[in-house]
Structure 1
Amino acid sequence: MNNVARTTRRKVLKVLGAGAVGSVLLSGSASAEKSFGNGNGIGAFLNDKAELKKPPIWDDGISDQRGEGTVEVEVGTLTSMVPPFEEGPFAFAPRVVKVSPGTTVKWVWTGNPWESAPPGIPVPPGAPWPHDVASLEKIGGTYKFASDMFLAGNDKSFEYTFEEVGTNLYFCHPHGYPFHDNSGFDYNLVGMRGAVLVRDD
């Protein structure tokens, strides 16, 4: 039991440290990358086992917003976690949106802090948490779309316009990283991942 508590504490401290970086490098290669079908494996990607999140992470819910010019997705919404954690601001909402070609998706950072951490975790109440948005797909070694790393509550946003039909999977580096490598990010810590489905039907 003590080993579990210490491991969890180390993970949280590592997440806090990742946020201090301030931004994420948008190029480079990841070794031993896990394949999710390049956008076709939406269920495998979103429900991939997360260390601090109870399964299932995604319940197959899709927010159909076709025909809208701009669609907002909140960054850092509250989600349930495994004991001794109860919930934390580590989700996208809606997790999956269906949009028409030409739609701009605007990710908006929420002000949700972690109100209370379990005993032994040195996180003050109301502490902001770092999040970013990065596509699973890379083009020439660079993410198809990616934001800077922002702290929750900083009234930040990031936009990307989706022109082509397809499935676009994305993640938060500190909380949903999909690669086993030496980047300094833990593999899929709390399942903070999402998808944009672009459909013309």
Structure 2
Amino acid sequence: MYDERTSRRHLLRGVAVTTAAGPLVAGCIGDGGGTNDAATPRGDTEPNDRTFDGWLDGVEGADSLVDRTDASDVRVRVGTEGNGGYFAFAPVVLRVSSGTTVTWEWTGVGSAHNVVAKDGSFRSELTGDEGTTFSHEFDASGVAKYACLPHRSLGMKGVVVVE
């Protein structure tokens, strides 16, 4: 027998469960780089077994690579959860095509950070302000290693592989 009150109750209960579980499910399907939002690059994630001559030894998140060779502009989050605090980049390892602009965007957590290329080819200001951005165009194939200087010893390092 059909009972309208029971049907509404089931519908409302289903909506409540779905609404409550939505953030949990969204967190499970993220890119593994800490918090998940629109600034995190989307793309194919694959296992990474390269340490880039030891540069990424012990760095949390270095076991995966995000392939964004299909994009002309890619974002990397600065100050995501990892390495014992908010001392990580997301993603840690990024693959792009030559001519791609990478923009680092600060989360505003984990104190002040910067982005400095190991070879000195680019360097941002030191800041902790949420929403701050710094961009660099990668116009030649190769591997660009970078770090946050104040937190480098904690493992706040990253790599951009340019094809």
TM-score tier after normalising by the smaller chain length = 0.5 to 0.7
Within the alignment, does 1:46 sit opposite 2:56 as a pair?
yes
Tell me the CA shift for residue 79 of structure 1.
1.2
| Residue of structure 2 equivalent to 1:95 | 92
Aligned-partner Cα distance in 2 for 1:60–1:45 = 13
| Residue of structure 1 equivalent to 2:76 | 73
| Paired residues of 2:83 and 2:155 also in contact (CA < 8 A) | no
Aligned-partner Cα distance in 1 for 2:60–2:53 = 10
Aligned pairs, how many?
114
3-state SS of paired residue (1:130): coil
| Paired residues of 2:66 and 2:91 also in contact (CA < 8 A) | yes
3-state SS of paired residue (1:147): coil
3-state SS of paired residue (1:151): coil
4+ residue segments displaced more than 2 Å? 55-60
Residue 133 (structure 2) aligned to one of 157, 164, 171? 157
Tell me the CA shift for residue 60 of structure 1.
2.5
| Residue of structure 2 equivalent to 1:146 | 123
1:7-56 Cα shifts (integer Å, max 9, x gaps)? xxxxxxxxxxxxxxxxxxxxxxxxxxxxxxxxx96151011xxxxxxx46
Higher helix share: 2
3-state SS of paired residue (2:54): helix
After superposition, residues 15-54 of structure 1 pair within 5 angstroms as 42=52, 44-47=54-57
| Residue of structure 2 equivalent to 1:191 | 155
Describe the shift of the 1:148–1:59 C-alpha distance in structure 2 as closer, same or farther (beyond 3 A): closer
Aligned-partner Cα distance in 2 for 1:136–1:59 = 17
Could you list the runs of 5+ residues in structure 1 that have no partner in the other structure?
Answer: 1-39, 48-54, 82-87, 114-128, 138-142, 177-187
Structure number, greater radius of gyration: 2
1:107-161 Cα shifts (integer Å, max 9, x gaps)? 0000335xxxxxxxxxxxxxxx010000001xxxxx20110001142x2000000
Describe the shift of the 1:56–1:150 C-alpha distance in structure 2 as closer, same or farther (beyond 3 A): closer
Tell me the CA shift for residue 67 of structure 1.
1.9
Aligned-partner Cα distance in 1 for 2:127–2:149 = 11
> If the length of structure 1 is used for normalisation, what is the TM-score?
0.53
Letter in 2 for 1:133: V
Backbone CA RMSD of aligned residues:
1.8
Quick one: percent identity of the two aligned structures? 36
Could you list the runs of 5+ residues in structure 2 that have no partner in the other structure?
Answer: 1-49
1:73-112 Cα shifts (integer Å, max 9, x gaps)? 000001152xxxxxx1110000010000000000000033
Higher strand share: 2
Report which structure shows greater RCO (CA 8 Å, sep ≥6): 1
Describe the shift of the 1:168–1:56 C-alpha distance in structure 2 as closer, same or farther (beyond 3 A): closer
Describe the shift of the 1:101–1:77 C-alpha distance in structure 2 as closer, same or farther (beyond 3 A): same
| Residue of structure 1 equivalent to 2:145 | 169
Tell me the CA shift for residue 175 of structure 1.
0.3
Aligned-partner Cα distance in 1 for 2:64–2:135 = 22
